[in-house]
C-alpha cells in the first residue's frame, strides 16, 4: 500500500490535468501513452483509470481475486489503459523509450510518460535506456521517479545510494526537475513546462511512502508488505 499512496497525486495529475487521452479510445495511436513500471503499486493505477472512466467501478472488487480482472501487478490489457506488463523492475523505462523513439520516427507528436520507483534506479536497464533517450534527443518523453526513499529491504540510501540524482540525469542529456510529489500545482507545472529542445525530461518527485495511510506504516518499509488490519482500515477510510 505504501508505494501506491506515494504516487497517487502524481497519477491524478497526469490523468486529470496533463495527458491528452480519451478513455473511450484507449488504443488511439495519437493519444499520449503512460507506462507504469512500478507495477506492484497497480492498485493506485487502477483507481486512477477507473475514476477517469476507463472501466466500471465494479471491477475494483475483483482486485487480486480468482476470476477477477485486476492482478496485483499491472498486466497489459487486463483493463483498458494498462499499456504494459511490468513488475520485474527496470523494464518500464526501456519500453517507454522504445515507444517514444518509434513515435519520433513516425512523426507522431504524442507524448510518452513513464513512472518508475527510486529502487529502479538501482537497475542497469534504467541507465541504458537513459543513455539511449538522451542520445536520440527524445524530447517527447517524460519520466517521473517516485522518490519515496524506501524500497523492499530498507532505505534507498542504505541499499544503494543514488544521489546526486539530478546531476546524474543531466549528465545523460536530460532536463531534470525536482518537485514535491504530493503538490498538484508543482506536478502539473513541471509536467507541462517544455523540457527544452532535444532533451527528454525527468521529474524527481520527492514523496512519502504510505502518506496519509495508517500511522504506523507512514514512511516505513512495513507499508511495502503489510495490508491494514480491519481497525486500521476503518480508521483510514474515515
- Distance, in Å, from the CA atom of 83 to the CA atom of 77, rounded to the nearest integer, reads 7
**pLDDT of the residue at 231:** 92
In tens digits, the chain (238 residues) has pLDDT values of: 899 999 999 999 999 999 999 999 999 999 999 999 999 999 999 999 999 999 999 999 999 999 999 999 999 999 999 999 998 899 999 999 999 999 999 999 999 999 999 999 999 999 999 999 999 999 999 999 999 999 999 999 999 999 999 999 999 999 999 999 999 999 999 999 988 889 999 999 999 999 998 888 899 999 988 888 999 889 888 8
Query: Which stretches of the chain are assigned E, i.e. beta strand?
Result: 33-36, 112-117, 141-147, 150-151, 154-155, 175-180, 201-206
Q: What's domain 2-210's superfamily in CATH?
A: Thiamin diphosphate (ThDP)-binding fold, Pyr/PP domains (3.40.50.970)
**pLDDT of the residue at 35:** 98
- Distance, in Å, from the CA atom of 35 to the CA atom of 114, rounded to the nearest integer, reads 5
Sign, CA dihedral 153-158-162-164, equals: positive
**pLDDT of the residue at 235:** 85
pTM as predicted = 0.96
How is the chain split into domains, by residue range? 2-210
**pLDDT of the residue at 180:** 98
Q: Which residues pair with 147 in a beta bridge?
A: 206
Q: Which residues pair with 177 in a beta bridge?
A: 203
Cβ atoms of 70 and 62 closer than 8 Å = yes
> What DSSP assignment string belongs to 156-186?
HHHHH---SHHHHHHHTT-EEEEEETT-HHH
What is the tens place of the pLDDT at every residue in 94-132?
A: 999 999 999 999 999 999 999 999 999 999 999 999 999
Amino acid at each position: 500500500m505504501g508505494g501506491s499512496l506515494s504516487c497517487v497525486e502524481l497519477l491524478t495529475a497526469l490523468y486529470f490535468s496533463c495527458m491528452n487521452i480519451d478513455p473511450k479510445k484507449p488504443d488511439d495511436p495519437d493519444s499520449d501513452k503512460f507506462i507504469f513500471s512500478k507495477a506492484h503499486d497497480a492498485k493506485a493505477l487502477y483507481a486512477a483509470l477507473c475514476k477517469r472512466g476507463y472501466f466500471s467501478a465494479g471491477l475494483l472488487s475483483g482486485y487480486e481475486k480468482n476470476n477477477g480482472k485486476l492482478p496485483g501487478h499491472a498486466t497489459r490489457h487486463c483493463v483498458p489503459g494498462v499499456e504494459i506488463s511490468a513488475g520485474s523492475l527496470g523494464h518500464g523505462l526501456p519500453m517507454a523509450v522504445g515507444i517514444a523513439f518509434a513515435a519520433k520516427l513516425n512523426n507522431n507528436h504524442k507524448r510518452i510518460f513513464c513512472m518508475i520507483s527510486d529502487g529502479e534506479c538501482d537497475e542497469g536497464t534504467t541507465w541504458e535506456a537513459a543513455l539511449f533517450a538522451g542520445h536520440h534527443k527524445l524530447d517527447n518523453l517524460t519520466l517521473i521517479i517516485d522518490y519515496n526513499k524506501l524500497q523492499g529491504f530498507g532505505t534507498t540510501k542504505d541499499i544503494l545510494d543514488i544521489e546526486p540524482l539530478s546531476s546524474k540525469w543531466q549528465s545523460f542529456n536530460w532536463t531534470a526537475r525536482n518537485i514535491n510529489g504530493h503538490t498538484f500545482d508543482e506536478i502539473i507545472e513541471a509536467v507541462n513546462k517544455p523540457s527544452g529542445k532535444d532533451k527528454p525530461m525527468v521529474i524527481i518527485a520527492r514523496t512519502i511512502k504510505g502518506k496519509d495511510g495508517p500511522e504506523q506504516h507512514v514512511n516505513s518499509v512495513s507499508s511495502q508488505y503489510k495490508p491494514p488490519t480491519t481497525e486500521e482500515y476503518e480508521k483510514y477510510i474515515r
